[in-house]
Chains A and B, each alone.
Chain A
Amino acid sequence: MESKFYEEDKLLIFRITDEIDDFSVQKIRRRADYDIERYMPRKVIFDFNSVTFMDSAGIGLVIGRYKFAKMLGSTVELANLTSNIKKIFEMSGILRLIPITNLEVS
């Protein structure tokens, strides 16, 4: 996973490059929480453009970061979801809390 912080907008973007499952999610979670605490962004965006696989572990990952970011006064948005990933998020109902945003594919 790569992260980039835009100081001016207080925007933190995570570009997830791993497959997201029960095994990989622990590493992603640790890294994301570390960066959120370090940069204290106003907004966090998870970019799924390079995610080739995700199962329900991704739901827990996003809800967990949403709660953590909210505690620190920040919001979370999701970008570049494939149809399969979008289907999984829709099923969980979290898209009612966490919006999908447009982000250009870098």
Chain B
Amino acid sequence: MKSEIENEMKLEFISKSANEAFARITVAAFASQLDPTIEELADIKTAVSEAVTNCIVHGYDKKQGIVKIFARLKENEILIEISDKGKGIENIDIAKEPLYTTKPNLERSGMGFTIMESFMDEVDVESVVGLGTKVTMRKVIKNKLENEESDDEFEMITKE
């Protein structure tokens, strides 16, 4: 039996890097309702950590602001929106390029967007200079589907 999951949550916090762990752990705890694998949960935590770090380090750049997270679970998919009202990104295509960083002197790798894109199924970035940035990410949690499939297989075998 497939249970229908539909749920939403909102989270707001001050742009301090100490809150990065709080943000990713909270989103992961919420996502766990979809019964993800450990690997899928690690992917979500990493992507959230990258997006939140971007808001704090680049969006607000040492100034204090509010980082907002909205997440929605629907069936076997999680949607996560992470936004700031910081300085915005001038050229999103360049910012997304692997190894591109505006702060190389601080040992920043420029891999944030690349990691988000490879760990999530879909990543969309909207940004207006001077107004802020919103990153929207989606990930399908396969664990459940796979489990159901293997249950079906098992049924078939036992019927034979």
A contact residues vs B (CB 8 Å cutoff): 19, 21-23, 25, 29, 53-57, 59-61, 63-64, 82-84, 87-88, 91-92
Given the known interface contacts A59-B109, A61-B107, A63-B109, the answer about A22 and B53 at a Cβ–Cβ threshold of 8 Å is yes
* Mask: chain B, 97-131; 1 = CB below 8 Å from A; 0 = not: 01100000011110110110010000000000000
How far does the alpha carbon of A56 sit from the alpha carbon of B109 in the complex, in Å? 7
Q: Which residues of B contact A (CB under 8 A)?
A: 17-18, 20-21, 24, 39, 42-43, 45-46, 49-50, 53, 56-57, 98-99, 106-109, 111-112, 114-115, 118
CB distance from A27 to the nearest CB of B (A): 12
Kindly identify which residue among B45, B53, B107, B115 contacts A63, using a CB–CB cutoff of 8 Å.
Answer: B107
| Docked pose: A51 CA to B111 CA in angstroms | 20
Q: Are A92 and B107 in contact (CB under 8 A)?
A: no
Is B20 within 8 A of A21, CB to CB? yes
Bound complex: CA A31 to CA B50 (Å): 24
* Whole-angstrom CA separation of A45 from B139 in the bound complex: 35
Residue of B18, B20, B107, B114 touching A60 (CB-CB under 8 A):
B107
Instruction: Give Cα A78–Cα B42 distance, bound, in whole angstroms.
Output: 20
Cβ-neighbour of A91 out of B39, B42, B115 (below 8 A) = B115
B53→A57 contact, CB < 8 A: yes
Q: A22-B20, A59-B111 are in contact. List 13 more A-B contacts (CB 8 A).
A: A22-B56, A23-B18, A29-B107, A53-B49, A55-B50, A56-B50, A56-B112, A57-B109, A60-B108, A61-B107, A84-B43, A91-B115, A92-B109
Would you give 19 A-B contacts (Cβ < 8 Å), ordered by A?
Answer: A21-B20, A22-B17, A23-B18, A53-B24, A53-B45, A53-B46, A54-B46, A55-B49, A55-B115, A56-B115, A57-B109, A59-B111, A60-B109, A63-B107, A82-B42, A83-B39, A84-B39, A88-B46, A91-B98
Contacts of B56 on A, CB cut-off 8 Å? Answer: 22
Chain A residues with Cβ below 8 Å from B57 are: 22
Name the one of B17, B21, B107, B118 contacting A19, with C-beta atoms under 8 angstroms: B21
Question: Which chain B residues border A23 with CB–CB below 8 Å?
Answer: 17-18, 20-21
